[in-house]
Structure 1
Amino acid sequence: MKKMLLNVYLFCFWLLPLTADSLRLIAVGHRQSTEASLTYTTWFNQFNRTDLYQIRSHEPTLLVFGELTGLTSAFIGTRGQDARTQLGTIENAFSLLAKSYEKQISSYLNKYPNISLTTALELSLSDVMWRAFNQTFSSLARSLNATIVSATFGPRIISSTDPKDIELYGDPDLCPNQTEVYIPLTKEIYNTAHVYASNGSLPSFNTQMWAANISASESIWQPLDWTNGPLALFQKTKNIQFSINPMVTGNLFDDMIVDGQSTINQRLPRGTRPLNETDDLYIGLDLVDVQYISEFKTLALARWARDDPRGGNLTKQERRLLLHQYALELAPNSKSKNENNYADTVIWSDVTY
């Protein structure tokens, strides 16, 4: 027997329906690691953080995790062991995963002859990824009494109790006690945000160094480029009152760096320019860099891995050079004591309206 799972798929959900007098907004800048993907329990434990319980509120709470938070669930269990322990690229990791899921991949290639091998693998990961993701964030929503928004990739899911489906698509680590299996409803893969309550936000995922230019050929500072998102958003829209922009961090593989600074922001009356010298800014930025943006106020900004040496005698370019050198130390295979020592943050703000 198969039943449809009712999920909310969101690609751009910034507007908060305001149904209470006050809210607590929380952004989790989680430092991800495949080391936590040993079992479903260890994957859950990395998100079941003490600091979230310390800031739990009796007020309605909206807690937002970053984009593709569910990515590392692909490496859970014995089938993911070789992939999560290899010291190589993300391509190598998924190649090793493909070997562990050959039977499932063959099944989906037969069912959908025109899909790619990558899509077949992503479909094959449906059970392990959705099981970990759904169990984790539905449980946290109940424990923290909060609306939780978190994101992953995958197809639309159905649940099956058919023994043949369980045998073919189920998790061998759960055998013989697995009573249902999650399988794709269709062949399409989505990057989706899931809401375990009634409110939501758009998480963010920056897949490169934070303290760097956006590319070798572009001299635009990465944090400056991001100001066109969560900050300039208020000028580009009329209805959004708050934005929560959590940023995942960490080196997953040799060629996958994820970094950034989470922010929580609020709309101000049109034409208001509240910025002053004491406002929190992304690293490597000065007040002049964001003077063209109005109508917003940053309520909370996560720290980066090191402080921006503002206030001294260094020029902006000299500061950025120091910050970039530190980013190189954080990067995979840097051999520095700071390798993968990214900030792991939770920021929050109580708001009224």
Structure 2
Amino acid sequence: MPSQSAIKGRGAQSGAVPQRFGLADRQADGDWRDAMEALDGPPVTLRTTITEEHPRTILSFNQSPDIFFDRSVNAYRGCEHGCVYCFARPTHAYHDLSPGLDFETKLFAKPDAARLLRETLARPKYRPRPIAMGTNTDPYQPIEDRYRITRQLLEVCLDARHPVTITTKSDRVLHDLDLLEAMAEQRLVAVAISVTSLDPVLSGKLEPRAASPAKRLAALGRLAEAGIPTHCSIAPVIPAITDGFIEQIVARAAALGVASCGWIPLRLPHEVAPLFREWLDVHFPDRAGKVMGIVRSIRGGRDNDPDFFSRLRPTGVWAELLRARFRLACKRAGIGKVSFELDCTGFRKPETGNQLRLL
């Protein structure tokens, strides 16, 4: 049983203030807000707010040597899915917001994203390489139903014949199946859907506003059936919480015709570690010590290993056990990790303003 009351519908259990950037608590000044919570108690529900922002650029570049992409685009900041383990949570601290509850309730949308991407791709010196979507926050989180920014970005990439990779935890990706099919015909897209467990109750605690495991698996099957290069990502694998589902997820993905499967161990950078510990104390107090003990054993005695390469490749006995189990599951299911080769050769600069294509 949980050791304390959980915040229903949310992954984080607090709005922990980040310490890295000197974000200070509001100073009490004697007004009614200082006594509000003491008199009325904490708010019953947490409302999600959306702020529209208008950045100057939309494409982010990185030089990380251990990831497969060098550029990405994020239509949103913050993520309503509320996955407690999300490694992107600390990015909210850059804006003096909590990586905890603020990350999943105070969201930002970028309605100019498609225009900015079109302008970037049209620059004379731009050279195409696959753009990764969903690397920081989910491009198909619930507010995509309202804004459709991800769809607009895909329309730009299809028009420019620019390759894209997508990572999501939502079956909303099927809303853009028409675009994905057209892009797949030209080898312009690959889609990964993350499946953490097969237990909807557990998923509701870990990823309270993400699609259920059944919906994610159904989306994987539909994408594979449509001929779209599809990858099942078992991510993250949480020792003593979700690792028991590895073999079943691999088998289910293979049965659906998914071409590729992989796994990623739990990562707990910066504020994610205390948030995850707090989540364990609320939902799994009986095994919290065991979980964190295994996590530290695969991370060199730390809660998190931030170093390139080793951050994605844990070490130790438990890591080798998980790795062996995954390999054996793939062998039994007849599935492996496939490298999808996307085509950059057909790229054509998009039209901008009054400038039309010559060809």
Would you say same fold, with TM above 0.5?
no
TM-score by length of 2: 0.31
* Higher RCO (CA < 8 A, seq sep 6+): 1
Structure in which a larger fraction of residues adopt strand: 1
TM-score by length of 1: 0.32
